[in-house]
Structure formats: structure tokens, C-alpha cells
Amino acid sequence: MVRLAFLIALIVCGISPARAESLSLSEYRQQLHEIAEKVDALQSHPEGAKTVISTVPDHVAVKIDSGEVNVSYKSLRDDLTEFSNANEQRRGAILKSVQGYVRELNTAAGSYGKIGTDPAASKSKLGEILARREFKNVQGPTVKDTWLAKLYRWLSRLLGRLGGAGGSFDWLRLLIYILVGAAVAVLLAWTVRRLRRPYEEFPQREIIPFSPSARGWRAWLADARNLAQQQDWRNAIHLAYWAGIAYLEEHGAWKPNRARTPREYLRLIGARASQYPVLASLTQKLEVVWYGYGSANEADFQETLVQLEKLGCR
């Protein structure tokens, strides 16, 4: 029963990869003895914790009469890491826990092969081992895990054939190919949407009733010329201004809105636009003549026509 308890204790310590370090039972006992000495030395030299961690392997395979048993040192390494990062107040308690854990490993390894006749004591010892915190979440594979493992093995065999005669497949290379393919697909989709955007997102200009562009800039300009022939310079300049606004609106300078003021049109077009100086001159003339009730003559009207020609109203 002592032998059985030791075997089970080694197995539940963790299942290691196939490439774990292989030791005989005597070498394993010697390794535990050396680890215990290094752990005890941490009491006076705590700064050497990282060095101790580097000398403790992740897993070892212990050779016994019936084969090999895989032993995990992960819990020990985690506790040593916690000790290395802890402050002075917590290090004492952590070190005691680590020392007790190493002593238990040494005791279990030393008792293997010795005769024992108390099954109850062995069962009790096994229960204590399984009750430790490192075995709290240990459980066997579920049905889902089993089926996923079968699926992964099948994919590995299938892709291994594609990898060549060696029967191996570079999963990292496959992941890179998948990521590159996904990036190319996203870029292609974005490019197609970008090329189609002018036809989908910019529909034909909607004519807003009573907006300047609803009449057309030529109609505004024709009415302005008719009033100029009657020497009604003030109203002629007023209508000529709206001919310029209608022209800009028809060419997409802004969306039609019949409630804007002349200054709002000027802000909409922006100071960096090439039409801004012309529109600023037309707006100033309108404010002086129309809103400011200033006097106007033929020269003022001709100046307005010159500005409209610069704008494109020909």
C-alpha cells in the first residue's frame, strides 16, 4: 500500500510532456534533497529565489519497476515565484509552506519500496495529498474534450500528409496563412465598397422648393438683367447675388436649404475654397446695397456681373 500510495502521489503531481527529464528513483531522491537544501538556504538569502527557480525543472519522469511516472514541479515553481515577488512580511509564511511541501515530496520518495502493512494509513495519506490546493481543479477529460482530441488528431494526420514525407505540419505557418488570407479578404471588401460608394452614397441632387437652385442660376441672372434694363440697380444686384448662390448650390457646394443667410453661405464654402474671394465680394456688395439700403448704379451692377463671371456664371 505504501508503494501504491507513492505511485498515485507521483501521478497526481501532474502529467508532463513526453520529453520530460528522465531520472532513476535514486536520482529523483537526490534531486529532491538538493532542492530542499536550496529552499532552506532562501531563509538567509531570499534574493536567490530566481536562481532556485531556474534550477527546478518543469517536469521529470521517474523510472520505477513498472515503467515511468511523470512528476510535475509546477506548484513548487509557482510558490517560489510568489516568494520571489512577495514583500518581507509575506516571505516567511510562503517559505514555510514551500519547505513543508518539499519535505512531503522527500518523505514520499523515501518511503517508496518500503514494506507497509496499514492500508488505512495509506488511504488517509492519499486523501491528504488529493486534498491539497494544487489538485482542487483536477478532473478527468469530459466527452467534449475526448471528441476534440480526436478531431485534433485527425486534423494533424490530414495536414501532416500535406507537410511532406515527415508526416509533420507547421501549425504556425498555417496560422500565418489564415491571418494573411483574412487581411487580404478584408482589404478586398473595403476596396469594393470604396469604389461603389460614389454610386450608392451620393444620389442625384434633390431639388428643394423655394431654394435658390430650384429656379436655376440662369433664371436668376435673366431677371437681374431685366431689372438692370429698367435701371433698378438695387434689385438687379440682389437677384444677381442669388444667381451666384444658385450656381454654387447646383454644383454641390452645399445641400439646398432655403433658410440660410448670406453670411451662412460664406461660412459653408470655407475660406480655403477658390470661390471664397468672389462670394465674399458679392456678399459685401449685397449687404451694402440691399440690407444697408445703400445707393447703387450701373457700375455697381457691372462689377457684380464681373464677379459672377469669375464664379462661372457665363
DSSP secondary structure string, 214-240?
Answer: HH-HHHHHHHHHHHHHTT-HHHHHHHH
Residue 13: strand, helix, or coil: coil
Q: What is the pLDDT of residue 257?
A: 81
Residues 102, 104, 108, 110, CA torsion sign: positive
pLDDT along the chain (314 residues), means of 10: 47 45 84 88 86 87 79 86 85 86 85 61 75 69 81 72 55 78 91 67 44 82 93 93 91 84 89 90 92 90 93 86
- DSSP-derived letter for residue 131 is T
User: Measuring CA to CA, which residue among 194, 175, 13 is closest to residue 109?
Assistant: 13
The H-or-E segment that residue 72 falls in is strand 67-72
Q: What is the pLDDT of residue 254?
A: 87
C-alpha span between 32 and 263 (Å, rounded): 88
- C-beta separation of 283 from 263 below 8 A: yes
Q: What is the pLDDT of residue 161?
A: 64
C-alpha span between 180 and 172 (Å, rounded): 12
Query: Cell for 198?
Result: 460614389
What pTM was estimated for this model as a whole?
A: 0.36
Q: What is the pLDDT of residue 308?
A: 92
- C-beta separation of 140 from 148 below 8 A: no
C-alpha span between 285 and 242 (Å, rounded): 12
